[in-house]
Amino acid sequence: MNTFQDLGLNEDLLHAITDLGFVNPSDVQSKAIPILLEKETDLVALAQTGTGKTAAFGFPMLQKIDIDSRTTQGLILSPTRELCLQITNEMKLYGKYCKGLNVVAVYGGSSITDQARDIKKGAQIIVATPGRIKDMISRRMVDISKIEYAVLDEADEMLNMGFYEDITDILSNTPEEKCTWLFSATMPKEVSVIAKKFMENPVEITVGNKNESTNQVSHEYYLVNSRDRYDALKRLADANPDIFSVVFCRTKRDTQKVAEQLIEDGYSAGALHGDLSQNQRDLVMNSFRKNQIQMLVATDVAARGIDVDDITHVINYQLPDEIETYTHRSGRTGRAGKTGVSMIIVSKSEVRKIKSIERIIKRDFIKKEIPDGMEICEVQLMSLANKIHNTEINHEIDKYLTNINELFADSSKEDLIKKFFSVEFTRFFNYYKKSKNLNIAESRSDDREGGRERGRDFGGNSDSTRYFINVGSKDGYDWMSLKDFLKDVLELGRDDVFKVEVKESFSFFNTEKELQEKVLAFFTDYKHNDRFVNVEVSENRGGGRRNDRRSGGGRRDDKGGERRSSPRGDFGNRSDRRRSDTSRPRRSGDFKPKEGARRSESDSRPSDSNISRPRRSRR
Ligand code: AMP
For the chain, domain boundaries: 4-206, 217-372, 374-432, 457-609
Quick one: DSSP state of residue 224?
B
DSSP reduced 3-state for 346: strand
Number of H helices, E strands in the chain: 24, 21
Taking the centre of ligand 1 as the mean of its atom positions, its distance from the CA of residue 52, in whole angstroms, is 4
Mutate to test the pocket of ligand 1, among 20, 31, 96, 181 (most ligand atoms within 8 A of CB): 20
Note the pLDDT of residue 333.
87
C-alpha span between 142 and 119 (Å, rounded): 7
Distance of alpha carbon 8 from alpha carbon 33, whole angstroms: 8
Q: Which of 22, 309, 311, 332 to mutate to test the pocket of ligand 1 (most atoms within 8 A of CB)?
A: 22
Calpha distance 569→431 (Å, rounded): 32
Q: How far apart are alpha carbons 73 and 143 in whole angstroms?
A: 10
Please answer whether residues 122 and 70 qualify as being in contact, where contact means their C-beta atoms are separated by less than 8 angstroms: yes
Q: Whose CA is nearest to atom 4 of ligand 1?
A: 50
* Phi, then psi, of 78 in degrees rounded to 5: -135, 155
- Residue of 90, 93, 94, 214 to mutate, ligand 1, most atoms within 8 A of C-beta: 90
Of 469, 445, 468, 467, which Cα lies nearest the Cα of 457? Answer: 445
Q: How many residues would you count in the chain?
A: 619
Å from CA of 56 to ligand 1 middle: 9
Tell me which H or E stretch contains 76.
strand 74-77
Distance 337 CA to ligand 1 centre (A): 10
Interaxial angle between packed helices 27-38 and 53-64, expressed in degrees from 0 to 180 and rounded to the nearest 10: 20
Contact 88, 109 (CB under 8 A): no
Residue 488's nearest CA partner among 522, 513, 464, 517 is: 522
CA distance 155 to 324: 13
Q: Are 152 and 158 in contact, with CB atoms under 8 Å apart?
A: yes
Give the Å distance between the CA of 297 and the centre of ligand 1: 24
Q: In this structure, what DSSP letter does residue 443 have?
A: -
Q: Do the beta carbons of residue 534 and residue 505 sit within 8 Å?
A: no
pLDDT digits (tens, 9 = 90+) for 87-113: 999 999 999 999 999 999 999 888 999
- 149 pairs with which residues across the strands? 74, 179
Determine phi and psi for 550, rounding to 5 degrees: -60, -30
pLDDT on residue 252 = 92
- Domain 4-206 in CATH 1.10.1370.40? The answer is no
Q: Which conformational region is residue 336 in: left (phi greater than 0), alpha (psi within -120 to 50 degrees), or beta?
A: left
d(CA 401, CA 342): 45
Closest C-alpha residue for ligand 1 atom 5: 52
CA of 146 to the centre of ligand 1 (A): 29
Closest ligand 1 atom to Cα of 58: 3
- Region of residue 163 (phi > 0: left; psi between -120 and 50: alpha; otherwise: beta): alpha
The class (CATH top level) of 217-372 is alpha beta
For atom 15 of ligand 1, the residue with the nearest CA is: 52
Which residues have CB under 8 Å from 473's CB, separation 6+?
502, 503, 504, 505
Atom of ligand 1 nearest to the CA of 336: 8
- CA dist list (Å): 224 to 124, 233, 351, 598: 53, 10, 10, 15
Protein residue with least CA distance to atom 20, ligand 1? 22
Number of the ligand 1 atom closest to the C-alpha atom of 23:
20
Q: 207 Cβ partners below 8 Å, 6+ apart?
A: 27, 28, 31, 45, 46, 47, 48, 51
- Going from the Cα of 305 to the center of ligand 1, the distance in angstroms, rounded, reads 13
- Could you tell me whether strands 464-469 and 535-538 are parallel, antiparallel, or unpaired per DSSP bridges? antiparallel
**Residue nearest ligand 1's atom 6 by CA:** 50
Contacts of 211 (CB under 8 A, 6+ apart): 46, 185, 186, 187, 324, 327, 360, 361, 362
248 sits in which H/E element: strand 245-248
Q: Can you tell me the distance from the alpha carbon of 30 to that of 206, in angstroms, rounded to the nearest whole number?
A: 11
Nearest ligand 1 atom to the CA of 47 is 2
The CA–CA distances, whole Å, from 117 to 111, 121, 139, 197, 385 equal: 10, 7, 13, 33, 57
> What pLDDT score was predicted for residue 565?
29
Q: Residue 50 C-alpha to ligand 1 middle, in angstroms?
A: 6
**Is the entire prediction scored with pTM above 0.85?**
no
Please give the pLDDT value at position 574. 25
Amino acid making up residue 356: S
Contact 153/109 with Cβ under 8 angstroms?
no
Q: Containing H/E element for 109?
A: none
Ligand 1 atom 1, closest CA: 52
Atom of ligand 1 nearest to the CA of 26: 19
Q: Which residues of the chain have pLDDT under 70?
A: 1, 208-215, 305, 336-337, 443-462, 539-619
What is the chain's alpha carbon radius of gyration, rounded to the nearest angstrom? 28
- Helical (H) or strand (E) element with 422: helix 413-432
CA of 336 to the centre of ligand 1 (A): 6
What residue ranges line ligand 1, CB within 6 angstroms? 22, 25-26, 29, 49-55, 309, 335-336
Q: Under a CB-based contact definition with an 8 Å cutoff, are residues 171 and 145 in contact?
A: no
The phi and psi torsions of 108 (rounded to 5 degrees) equal -70, 165
217-372 matches 4-206 in CATH topology: yes
Measured CA to CA in angstroms, residue 443 lies from 349, 447, 450 at distances of 11, 6, 12
Would you state the pLDDT for residue 542?
Answer: 44
In a mutational test of the pocket of ligand 1, which residue from 6, 54, 90 has the highest number of ligand atoms less than 8 Å from its CB? 54
